[in-house]
Structure 1
Amino acid sequence: MKKNRRSTFSGSRKFLFALFALFLSLSATAQMVTVKGQVADTAGEPIIGASIKENGTTNGTITNFDGNFELQVNEGALLTISYIGYTTIEVKATANMVVTLKEDTELLDEVVVIGYGSVKRKDVTTSISSVSTKDLDIRPIVSAGQAIQGKAAGVSVIQPNGSPGAELSIRVRGTTSFNGSNDPLYVVDGVPVDNIGFLSANDIESMQILKDASSAAIYGARAANGVIIITTKGGAKNEAKISFNAQLTLSRVSEKIKPLNAQQYKDLQDEIGMISLPENLKDQTDWFDEAYSTGVMQSYQASVSNGNDKTQYFLSGGYLDEKGVLNTAFYKRYNFRANIDSELRKWLRVNANVSYSDYVNNGVQTGLGANRGGVVLSVINTPSYAPIWDPNNEGQYYNQFYGINNITNPLENMERDKYRRNRENRLIASGSATITFMPELTFKSSFTLDRRNALSTTFLDPISTAWGRENYGTASDNRNQNTVITFDNVLNFNKNFNKHGLDVMLGTSWTDSDYRNSWINGSHFRDSIIQTLNAANKISWDGTGTSISQWGINSYMGRVSYNFASKYLVTANMRMDGSSKLHPDHRWGTFPSFSAAWRMSSEAFMSNLEWLDDLKIRGGWGQTGNQSGIGDYSYLLLYNISRQEWWKEGQQNALPNISQANLRTKDLTWETTTQTNFGIDFTAFNNRLTITADYYYKKTTDMLMYVSLPAGQGASSITRNEGEMVNKGFEFAVNSKNIQGVFNWSTDFNISFNRNKLTKLELQKIYTAAKTSDFTNENVVRNEPGRPLGGFYGYISDGVNPETGELIYRDINKDGKISASDRTYIGDPNPDFIYGLTNTFSWKNLNLTVFIQGSYGNDIFNASRIETEGMYDGKNQSTRVLNRWKIPGQITNVPKAGFDLKNSTYFIEDGSYLRVKDISLSYNLQLPFLKKAGISRLQPYFTATNLLTWTKYKGMDPEVNQWGNSGAVQGIDWGTYPHSKSFVFGVNVEF
């Protein structure tokens, strides 16, 4: 019997080998056929660039200018034919084919990512804006936040200065907090992060902005300023792809403020009468040419992706190197990303996302915190008769300005930043496991580590600069590490019962933060070449220290969504958050939200409107919280410790001095924003026209603020819930496909109106800020109830007195004299509206995009003019002072030299602007040898950025705020690093 079994097995094996050999033989001799055809739309117009792919292989091609294609495939193959905006189809290959693609009218079924889940766009009940990512790889985007500017209604994106790597100020529906953070919460692949400077725009797949409380409330404590959800790219099944993007950007300063030449400077100083200058002054140095040059940015990004039915992956890496228009300014970034998604079992899917970035800049200081206004102002303020180097002291910058001690030449100012380094590396690693108990019920558990290491160093040699010589060289080293751990667990149930749809989510979230900081300062370097604190001969005993702080949040959340036939939709959210930053008796906050929508277009009485695709009315209400922007132990009574020199003679028993730092806040609780939203979504003409309109009302209560205390309280300040603020507005967005066919033209337009008002302050009624000149010595910003945030405060100037040459200041209180009581509100930095307009044109393989962005109705306090037109000391001035008053009876708008200088409307300017932000031209090359080389995309492109700006503003650029991302201070220009006009040359390649 055993022998028979062996014989049977042996025969079976021979049969299988024979069958396998036959299969190989048949495969080897399988016939290939040549398929020719044309792809067109329903109007018969050829579609250029449509993708034709043989199923189950990487074999494919795209249509040419006439919509024609030719491809060799296996006999009987199935072809997948697709094009953006049209429905993908599968057809059997034949020798001669005519394929018609229909427009994709199912865009309403596009999936939109929301908090801890996703939903079809047609079933959205809240206010969500999607930002197009299709042109990100042809724009010179350094920070991913730039992709949002002008692209989403209700979202203001300002780059307060043009320095390399500068952070953005992003506001979703206005400023909601006074001292707290006004930044939106960023959620990248489900991970909450505080900024997105680490993220390469080329890695972004989609961006959704949750604007109203009913959409953002699911993030509760961190969503008061809106939520920006970013999903990065992943691999696709059976689509092996290698992508490469290279950019070269050349930048120049758009506007130049011209200073006085040597003789004009002497004439001015003779009038002021403060210094005596020789008669033979001659121009020696053009400080603008010495300080400014052509900025250059190089950017290289590469990625590979692939996948099968079980596992998909995406790997990317990039390098960005930006040299600014100021010669010492720079920014460099290295970034790496790995996204892996795998179905281990039918019931278990795991995901891992790892992102690492390393970026460094030198943080060129201008205006606030800079030496005498920084480089931008010193370019104008330094007299042109001065040389760069001191002829009597080798290696020293010239500073012998005829007895004037408040001028520092621009190159010495840049030397102060030359060896400044602000470096940070950031690792974000997250992993998740999703268990499918049944098709309707899933459980997802995710864990994230966000670790940031930052190092800031400075060095001044003991020779070049005056400050360096005074201290025999100085250096500093400041290090900090921040580790944030997040652990989320979410249960989702999604079930359709005939016409009923139910989506239920329950979850918990736990976040823990650990921050550590150390700093050291040293001076007295013997050798200027050695740039390390080890070479310092004097370490500052009172300028050295360490700190540590921790905070945590624990959260419980839930959501229920119900819809009937996608016609009547209701969603309710609830989240509870507990924060360690707040007092134990008040640290838990509950943040509910509700929203509903009615799809009128699904009603029977509208069924005969064939041109109407969708009409939906939305409404929602909700609350969100904020606890950012305050210290980790703000509710506690804290103390300051001052070291004592116990080692000195007679001080052997000295102990550290301990003093009270603040008052304890026993009722410190959440800052809460309550928002109501009403909206309409309208889509018609086969998705060729989409209109969205929203009205909102936001009220922030219990604002977290730092309040100054009267003398005698034992401390100078307290952190408390202090006031209330309101934002209300209207936003409108339109997308239209104007022309479709061989030539395509589409338009995206959005406009946003927001009105802000500080409505209540309890303990301290008035807050002032922003002293922009030592000469005027007054704050120019004043905040009090009843006014918009950030109002400018000063004197009203009614022009120049023809007889005296003085500015005429208005006597507000009619007491016959000009005094501090005559100050009033003189300007508002908040715009009436902001807008963006994008027109995209394509003809065959040629694509043109024109993006226009602007702001209207905002004022700017041009504090730079105090230093360049103030004529109050020995600094050089701009050529505008050539029109200054000189003789009685002269009619001019520039006062005399040495006029009575005050913060006034003289320095208030209209900051409205209309800017051609980007013009991008690209071409998709389609050549036979590219196909043979396996290159599916070769797209050279050219982009001009900030090409044209129409504005009445006299400064270098109207998109400005020297106070950066501040909520309380906006719209001040004080020697701010200017924006540039840039020209980008690049190429996209895909294999």
Structure 2
Amino acid sequence: MKHYIAKLCFALLAIMISLPASADDLLYQATVVDANDEPLMGATVKVPDTQNVTVTDLDGKFSIKVPQGKSVEISYIGFKTVTVTDFSQKTIVLDEDTQNLDEVVVVGYGTQKKAHLTGAISTVNMDDVQDLANGNLASSLSGLVNGLGVSGGEGRPGEAARLSIRGSDRLASIGVAAQEPLFVIDGFIYPNDVRIGQGQQNSGSVAFNNLDPSEIESISVLKDAAAAVYGARAANGVILVTTKRGKIGEPVISYSGSFGFTDEVSRPKMLNAYNYGRIYNIVKASDPLSTTLDRQKDLLQADELNAMRSLNYDLLDKYWETGFTQKHSVGVNGATEKVNYFANISYFDQEGNLGKLEYDRWNYRAGVDVTLKKWFKASLQVSGDYSKKETPNVKVGGTDTEKDYRLLLTHPRYIPESVNGLPIAAYGPTNSKVNGDQEYSFYTLQNSGDFKRDNTSNLNINTALEYDFGWSKILNGLKLRFSYAKSINNSKNNQYGSQYKIYYMSERAGSGSHLYTPIPGQEDAFNALLTPENFLLGNNGAPIYNGSGSSYVSRDMSRADNYQMNLTASYNRQFGEHSVGALFSIEKSEFESEYLFGTVSDPLSFGGLQSNSVGANSSNSAQFFRSEAGTLSYIGRVNYAYADKYLFEFLLRSDASTKFAPKNYWGTFPSVSLGWVMSQEDWFRKYVNWIDYLKLRGSLGITGRDNTEYWQWIQTYGADKDKGPVFGIGSNQFSGSHLALNKNNQAINPDAHWDKSYKSNFGIDFNVLHNRLSFNIDGYYNWDRDMLLSYTASVPGTVGSSSAKTNFGKMD
């Protein structure tokens, strides 16, 4: 019965979507099947450039009217589209579309066919992120890649999200630095321990988050031993980004733009003033045996509670605003047989929701690939970004960027922001200070000139020369490539925090003297309390000041310079059913970073807020750091596939870093992986025809970390004024100038070496329903050894320094 009902449904559908035909129309009837002669139900059959369309029934049969001179097009998800012009055909066979399996995936220092992958490598469909109005790329990847964690990035404009692969962020709990993945953009490796900007963000993370999706061709995520191709810095996984190139054809100019609004999805529901007072009383009087409770002064009285029913000073609602966001991108691309070009410029702007919050960024990218001779190519790409971010300078409560939101949210609803035009401390029923949060005044800080401004700029230059030996029968498939990349990252952060006064009332309204506003009918008595003598009383009769008691100006600046050179030989060739690939590369890189911080107090407001606009009694401080290191690497990879069924890959990378002592420069990181495409076996096709594709794969390898301070293996000295060697314990003894220990005040460890992370992975990939539904299942086990960690045990002061980091940690 079900069989006939299904046939009837498809027949009715075909009738409903077919239009009446003329007398010259041909009635074409046929059956659609797959390569195994199984009928395909629901295939779309249409006549191009007309409205004639139908679908195949349960037995794969169809009937359609075809005007004279027209053809019939038959399509089905997972199969190649077929065009029929010979209407004597009564059976049409659709072949499976293997485009997804033939798809090329970026795997590091090259590409591979997706069907030949043996590691846990995921790719991002850029169509899924192209139109998202996020200010940073990492936030757009949330939920798109199995095993990729995304945290933060949505709280404030310009806030960068953090990525972690397979829980690598958990390593922070035991003191392992650089838990983010290694970022590789167009082949350039951003050192994951070089920090830039206020807060010293990972330079790779900054470069990645600042990319505009309109510039990106593909993103690959290496999660297992496949990351061993990046060796000593790949223990936390690798994210590979490839940017766009021009496509064959006339120049194409494109524009995309979006506008939107940012607002809160929800807000915690807070107690109103009256219920707050009731619960305060319950908690305060919860101990029936208390002998110190003053029921008039310590508890809110009945007249006060009654007055609090009409009080509702909701400061967050008062200052919260809907933000506006916009994104625009203009690009041009094209290509001929000789030249391939691409250029793009984009702009992103986002407003915040609280006070002075705004972020805007410009991105630019231009590249050209030129065929100088038939087998000789050159390429040049220049890219970068410039961003500006302004955020509130919340001094009360430290550097917590969300502090202002929480203080406005939790502000007791019966306490006004100001009385008689003067800002009030939220001291509550006790009228005494518990912590500095009570002295926060959003209005005062927003209107006193306080600010925090960040400016970052990144410039990247990539060049390459490539020679193809395709002219030789023997060397066909061999390519030589030399590349040079340079990255310059700059950051500047300015802060200004003003001194401000905040007041409390020594006498307040109500029978218990708890209210800041008059009780109805007692306005005159309340106004009498607002005399300068009573109102301005603070600690020792003086007004209360913000945390430090003085205004200040600070600036920090950082710059990171990196370059990378590669000489690479790659070989890929097909010999019948044998597919062979090999790669060898020599890589050299150097990087250095500098960081400067300075602050002064009591600047003159009319002096441009510069360090020379301060008085003689101003306090000031400055710090300057510099670090540098270099690496040399040898990379090798061999791939083999037989009949697209049996897959093998072997990787070996040897890294040297000047961060370690010469005897420990080198580390070796091998990896091996195997794959079996079971669905390619004849017996499988015969007996398991409901699975279209099935591959088993496994990998085992070693990756590393070099998360140690630069030059920590050697003793360095520096002048330290007025602090000489003193026997005993204590840091307040002075005996003249001397040479101090190294900059980190740690003991040296010339035996420090790479962390080692052993990675194993087993995966299954299979497709069903004619490749319309795909599954990827991975199980992995990682064991980290020789992790470079600091001892947590205290070291006696007589030692003279803290312990050096040592390779003793392990985690499974």
Q: What TM-score do you get using the length of structure 2 for normalisation?
A: 0.72
- 1:288-316 deviation per Cα after TM superposition (whole angstroms, max 9, x unaligned): 11342212211112211111112121111
Q: Does 1:501 align with 2:498?
A: no
* Alignment of 1:722 onto 2:808: yes
Name the structure 2 match of 1:205: 217
Give CA-to-partner distance per residue, 1:446-498, whole Å, 9 cap, x none: 11111110001100234478766965421101111110111111101122222
- Match 1:316 to one of 334, 344, 356: 344
Distance 1:103 1:596, change over 3 A: closer
1:361 aligns with 2:439: no
Deviation digits for residues 859-913 of structure 1, max 9, x if unmatched?
Answer: xxxxxxxxxxxxxxxxxxxxxxxxxxxxxxxxxxxxxxxxxxxxxxxxxxxxxxx
Aligned 8 A contact 1:422 1:454 in 2: yes
Match of 2:411 in 1: 382
The question of 1:473 aligning with 2:558 is answered: no
For the pair 1:250 / 2:255, whether they are aligned, the reply is: no
SS in 2 for 1:289: helix
- Measured after TM superposition, the shift of residue 701 of structure 1 is 0.8
Report the counterpart of residue 758 of structure 2 in structure 1.
Answer: 674
- Residue 494 of structure 2 is matched in structure 1 by 457
Q: How does 1:751-762 map to 2 (within 5 A)?
A: none
Distance of 1:371 and 1:486 partners within structure 2 = 37
Contact 2:157 2:352 in 1 (8 A): yes
Post-superposition offset of 1:116: 0.6
Do the aligned residues in 2 keep the contact of 1:454 with 1:479 (CA within 8 Å)?
A: yes
Residue 117 of structure 1, CA deviation:
0.9
Which residues of 2 match residues 269-668 of structure 1 at below 5 A?
272=284, 279=304, 283=311, 285-362=313-390, 369-370=398-399, 374-389=403-418, 391=420, 393=422, 402-404=431-433, 406=435, 407-409=438-440, 411=442, 415=446, 419-438=451-470, 439-463=476-500, 471-527=549-605, 530-537=608-615, 543-608=621-686, 609-628=688-707, 630-637=708-715, 642-643=720-721, 655=737, 658=740, 661-668=745-752
Contact 1:287 1:410 in 2 (8 A): no
In the TM superposition, 1:701-740 aligns within 5 A as: 701-708=785-792, 709-712=794-797, 713-726=799-812
Q: Which moved more, 1:249-258 or 1:444-453?
A: 249-258
Quote how far apart the aligned CAs of 1:265 are.
4.3
Note the alpha carbon deviations across 1:916-972, whole angstroms, 9 max, x for none. xxxxxxxxxxxxxxxxxxxxxxxxxxxxxxxxxxxxxxxxxxxxxxxxxxxxxxxxx
Does the C-alpha gap of structure 1 residues 219 and 319 become closer, same or farther in structure 2, counting only changes over 3 Å? Answer: same
Where 1:253 maps in the other structure, the secondary structure is: coil
SS of 2:214's partner is helix
Change (3 A) 1:551 1:243: same
Contact 1:682–1:692, Cα closer than 8 Å, also in 2: yes
Q: For residues 776 and 402 of structure 2, what CA distance do their matches in structure 1 show? A: 45
Matching residue of 1:222:
233
State the distance in 2 between where 1:390 and 1:65 align.
74
Letter in 1 for 2:335: G
- Whole-angstrom CA distance in 2 between matches of 1:149 and 1:714: 47
Conserved? CA contact 1:457–1:478, under 8 Å:
yes
Q: For the residues of structure 1 that align with 2:50 and 2:804, how far apart are their CA atoms?
A: 70
Match of 2:246 in 1: 235
CA distance in 1, matches of 2:714, 2:617: 33
Change (3 A) 1:341 1:517: same
Q: Quick one: distance in 2 between partners of 1:537 and 1:100?
A: 88
Structure 1 residues not aligned, in runs of 5+: 1-39, 51-62, 69-79, 93-98, 647-651, 727-991
The one-letter code of the counterpart of 2:420 is P
Contact 2:230/2:653 (CA < 8 Å) preserved in 1? yes
Q: Is contact 2:645–2:677 with CA below 8 Å preserved after alignment?
A: yes
Which residue in the other structure is 2:200 paired with? Answer: none
Deviation at 1:589, TM superposition (A): 0.5
CA distance in 2, matches of 1:533, 1:260: 46
Give the strand-richer structure, 1 or 2.
Answer: 1
Q: In the aligned structure 1, how far is the partner of 2:215 from the partner of 2:617?
A: 45
Question: Aligned equivalents of 1:560 and 1:577: distance in 2?
Answer: 18
From 168, 185, 190, the counterpart of 2:187: 190
Query: Does the C-alpha gap of structure 1 residues 91 and 231 become closer, same or farther in structure 2, counting only changes over 3 Å?
Result: farther
Amino acid at match of 1:206: S
> How many Å separate the matches in 1 of 2:320 and 2:51?
46
Contact 1:210–1:227 (CA under 8 A) maintained in structure 2: yes
Aligned to 1:694: 778
Compute the displacement of 1:408 (Å): 3.1
Alpha carbons of structure 1 residues 664 and 611: separation in structure 2 relative to 1, 3 Å:
same
Say which is worse superposed, 544-553 or 484-493, in terms of deviation. Answer: 544-553
Shift of 1:233: 1.5
Are 1:105 and 2:98 an aligned pair?
yes
Cα 1:490–1:251 change in 2 (3 A) is: same
Closer/same/farther in 2, CA of residues 373 and 186 from structure 1, 3 Å limit: closer
Structure showing greater relative contact order (alpha-carbon pairs closer than 8 Å, 6 or more residues apart): 1
After superposition, the CA RMSD in angstroms is 3.8
Tell me by how many angstroms 1:46 deviates: 6.0
Determine the structure 2 residue equivalent to 1:811. none
What amino acid does structure 1 have at the position aligned with 2:483? S
Instruction: Give the match's secondary structure for 1:632.
Output: coil
How far apart in 1 are the matches of 2:398 and 2:592? 29
What amino acid is the match of 1:376? Y
- Alignment match, 1:831: none
The sequence identity of aligned pairs, in percent, is 27
Shift of 1:284: 6.1
The AA in structure 2 aligned to 1:378 is L
1:232-288 deviations in whole A, cap 9, x for unaligned?
A: 121100053222222222122223223344444445555546968794667363111
Supply the distance in 2 between the matched residues of 1:409 and 1:252 (Cα, whole angstroms): 24
SS at match of 1:535: coil
Match of 1:585, SS state, is helix
Per the TM alignment, residue 419 of structure 1 is displaced from its structure 2 partner at its CA by: 0.9
Report if the CA contact (8 A) 2:494-2:555 is conserved.
yes
Equivalence for 1:146: 139
Verify the 8 A CA contact 1:397 1:464 in the aligned structure 2.
Answer: no
- Residue-by-residue CA offset, 1:357-382 (whole Å, 9 max, x unaligned): 11232455889843798213212443
- 1:873-888 map, 5 Å: none
Residues in 2 aligned to 1:508 and 1:669: alpha-carbon distance in whole angstroms: 22
**1:434 partner amino acid:** E
**Number of residue pairs the alignment of both structures matches:** 649
Distance 2:97 2:145 in 1: 23
What amino acid sits opposite 2:681 in the alignment?
E
Q: Does residue 163 in structure 1 map to residue 245 in structure 2?
A: no
TM-score by length of 1: 0.60
- SS of 2:663 mapped into structure 1: coil
Q: Which runs of 5+ in 2 are unaligned?
A: 1-29, 33-41, 55-72, 86-91, 191-203, 285-292, 471-475, 503-543, 725-733
Q: Of 167, 171, 178, which residue of structure 2 is paired with 1:181?
A: 178
